[in-house]
Chains A and B, each alone.
Chain A
Amino acid sequence: MNTLLAIRDLHVRYPLKTGLSALAGNRPSFVDVVHGVSLDINRGETVAIVGESGSGKTTLAMAVCGLAPVFRGEVRFDGRQLERERNNRLNPDRKRVALMFQDPVGSLSPRMTVRKILAEPFRIHRTGSSSPEQEARRLLSLVGLSEDFGDRYPHQLSGGQARRVGVARALALEPDLLIADEPTAGLDVSIQGEVLNLMSRLQQQMGLGIMIITHNLNVVRHIADRMAIMYLGRFVEQGDAQKIFSRPRHPYTEALLSANPSTDPDAGSGRIELSGEVPSLLRRPAGCEFNTRCPRAGDRCRVSFPGLAGDFGDQAYHCHFPLD
């Protein structure tokens, strides 16, 4: 297979205390936001990362882009490590990974016109076959916006238009991997379809690998080839999206899939409602992290963390008592 991104046992750890206070007290002095994640993304493939807020999805994306510190493990892009070079200059591979941020308007500079925003990547990386302004025009037409949008400021755009500008900027330098953090959050259903269709079309044209972070499972079902379900910084289950939808093995996956509110008034039955709260990352439960809310948890779950079962390339999960 043509593996574009390979993540192995990735940990992202943030310090909570510094200096002398780190030595005193009984509170932990660090928090593991991403806790041992492994994932492959191939060219032309869409992989969805699903999970509740605070489960570490965005931090994982940041770590892949080099915007969050990697504590342990590695991120290999096209076989090479994607870290800062020794003289603290950005690795040239970085421009092959593009990020679409969660907040469509907030991630565009309010003081720049759309044209300036789209021309900026070319100026920074000093690439592009024509002038940055011409490139900006080309990008606008790529995402289906007319040329006069170039003169607008972000506050003059609607949510859907701002998303399109976000897509255009992310694709400016023709990356190989696009990381889209909640690309449809807050969008209306009709516009949500537009943005997703646009991403799929560009994926076909450019052979992009896409990592999409979302908690909208309806979207995942349509666009993802593979998916990973994240809980407290770990993937509890990952693999082929269709297989996971039709036969989830981890109890958390099952609950998440069943919680999906549907517009069919008769669809409400068969829902598994999880009790309790998501535990704090500061007080990571012993054993399996999900045992505090799991309907199937037994004594073993409170003591030992279940190893990876199943086939990593197909469908794999961490559970002592998987579903059939």
Chain B
Amino acid sequence: MSQPVLKIRDLSVSYQTEAGPLQALRDVTFAVPAGKIIGIVGESGCGKSTLISTIIRLIAPNARIGKGSILFKGDDLLRMTSAEMRALRGDEISMVFQDPMTSLNPVRPIGRQMADVQHRDALSRREKNARSESMLGRVGIPDPAAQLTRYPHQLSGGMRQRVAIAMALMAEPSLLIADEPTTALDATLEVQIIHRLQELQRDFGCSILFISHHLGVIAELCDEVVVMYAGEVVESGPMRDVFLEPRHPYTRKLLECDPARIAEPTRDLPVIEGSLPNLVQLPDGCIFRERCPKTIERCGLQRPRLAGDGHQASCHLLDTAE
């Protein structure tokens, strides 16, 4: 297998707060292989957003990167100067955000914005427009030439998100980071966008890091999945393995809670009891212990580490089972 595009090792990030450092990410480790779609799934507060903003180095002023490395094609992003980072963003690494209405400039026509993205290329305005037009066609926008003169508010939500994807792919990046790109869309459009992303990934051969809290979308789209809980990776592995044979109790709970999996209609839907731990005063031992249905003594004493080959999980129960 070739070298992964992105390799994150033992990444820890904390936010300075009045109550003390809030440890938003702790020892996060995973890799994005070349040409694969990796899904990161987790509920709000699990550190998804902190993770992305650390990768593209656009973190909040009160965030501190404690330790770890983020290797992009072998170079550590955390050691780059801001000028080097700027050269990467939008070129080698690009992003699609959750809300296309706020990520597009409302007072500039689509064509102008798409030309702006090509500021690195020594092309004439006409050539840039021609490229924009063909890119819009590739993401499945009807009559692309006419769309170039339109403003974001004149497009529907699904079209706007496709324009955002077209812009992100303009520079043919090696890594596309998509932060909940379908959350603002409806089921039928969601499926359209997911399939379009799959097609584009095949055509361009880029890797995609896809963040979502929607398990169904991840199952539909991704090759591999990383499950996060309260700032830690609790399980990772090939999508089918994780979804069909989840190893971590949190992953299992999460899948149980999905109403799509419950065949008989019920008015008493399963929930995960309890709430997220306080990340300023971390509990001892396993981070999921307080909500876990089957804890053993060791869970309160020692923090489990990710273990396993390919399909990994961090849970003490896996040691005792073997």
Q: Which positions in A face B, CB cutoff 8 Å?
A: 51-54, 158-159, 186, 188-194, 196-197, 200, 215-219, 221-223, 242, 255-256, 259-265, 268, 271, 273-274, 276-278
Contact = CB atoms under 8 A, between A and B. Distances in A.
Nearest to B269: A193
A90 to B, nearest CB: 33
Interface of B: 43-45, 142, 156-159, 183, 185-192, 194-195, 213-220, 239-240, 243-244, 253-255, 257-262, 265-272
Contacts of B271: 190-191, 193-194, 197
The binding surface of chain B is classed by DSSP as helix
Contacts of A223: 265, 267
A263 B219 contact: yes
A188 B213 contact: yes
A223 B268 CA distance: 9
B243 A255 contact: no
User: Which residue, A194, A197, A261, A278, has most C-beta atoms of chain B within 10 A?
Assistant: A261
Given A197-B269, A259-B191, A260-B187, A222 B262 contact: yes
A242 B219 contact: no
B220 A261 contact: yes
A186 B212 CA distance: 11
A283 to B, nearest CB: 13
Contacts of A277: 142, 156, 158-159
B214 A261 contact: yes
A242 B216 contact: no
Given A259-B187, A260-B187, A277-B158, A265 B260 contact: no
Contacts of B186: 51-53, 215
Pick the most buried of A188, A190, A271, A278: most chain B CB atoms within 10 A of its CB: A190
B183 A186 contact: yes
Contacts of B266: 222
Given A193-B270, A264-B219, A273-B191, A218 B214 contact: no
Contacts of A191: 43, 271
A259 B254 contact: no
B273 to A, nearest CB: 9
26 contacts: A52-B186, A53-B157, A54-B157, A158-B45, A159-B44, A189-B258, A189-B259, A190-B43, A193-B259, A197-B271, A215-B186, A216-B259, A218-B258, A218-B260, A259-B188, A259-B190, A260-B187, A261-B190, A261-B217, A261-B220, A262-B260, A263-B219, A263-B255, A263-B258, A263-B261, A276-B142
Contacts of A186: 183
Contacts of B260: 218, 260, 262-264
A289 to B, nearest CB: 15
Nearest to A279: B156
A195 B255 CA distance: 18
Contacts of B220: 261-262, 268
Nearest to A53: B186
A221 B219 contact: no
B194 A261 contact: yes
Given A261-B214, A273-B192, A200 B270 contact: no
B187 A215 contact: yes
The listed residue with most A CB atoms (<10 A of its CB), out of B156, B158, B239, B253, is: B156
Going nearest first, the 7 A-B pairs with the smallest beta carbon separation are A261-B216, A193-B269, A188-B43, A190-B272, A218-B259, A200-B267, A193-B271
B302 to A, nearest CB: 26
A194 B219 CA distance: 24
Greatest chain B CB density within 10 A among A158, A186, A193, A194 is at A193
B243 A264 contact: yes
A273 B188 CA distance: 7
Contacts of A159: 44
B149 to A, nearest CB: 17
A200 B269 CA distance: 10
B199 to A, nearest CB: 12
Contacts of B45: 158
Contact of A52 (B43, B188, B258, B261): B188
Contacts of A192: 257, 259, 269
Contacts of A51: 186
A309 B185 CA distance: 31
Given A188-B213, A261-B214, A263-B216, A271 B191 contact: yes
A231 to B, nearest CB: 11
Contacts of B269: 192-193, 196-197, 222
A36 B132 CA distance: 41
B248 to A, nearest CB: 15
A192 B258 CA distance: 9
A256 B188 CA distance: 6
A264 B261 contact: yes
A256 B187 contact: yes
Contacts of A263: 215-216, 218-219, 243, 255, 258, 260-261
Contacts of A261: 187, 190-191, 194, 214, 216-217, 219-220
A189 B183 CA distance: 14
Nearest to A201: B267
Given A193-B269, A222-B267, A277-B142, 13 more contacts: A52-B186, A158-B45, A188-B213, A189-B215, A194-B271, A200-B267, A242-B265, A256-B187, A261-B187, A262-B220, A264-B260, A265-B219, A273-B188
A97 B183 CA distance: 30
Contacts of B195: 273
B194 A190 contact: no
A276 to B, nearest CB: 8
Contact of B254 (A189, A194, A218): A189
In this complex, the member of B43, B189, B261, B267 whose beta carbon has the largest number of chain A beta carbons within 10 angstroms is: B267
Contacts of A262: 216, 219-220, 260-261
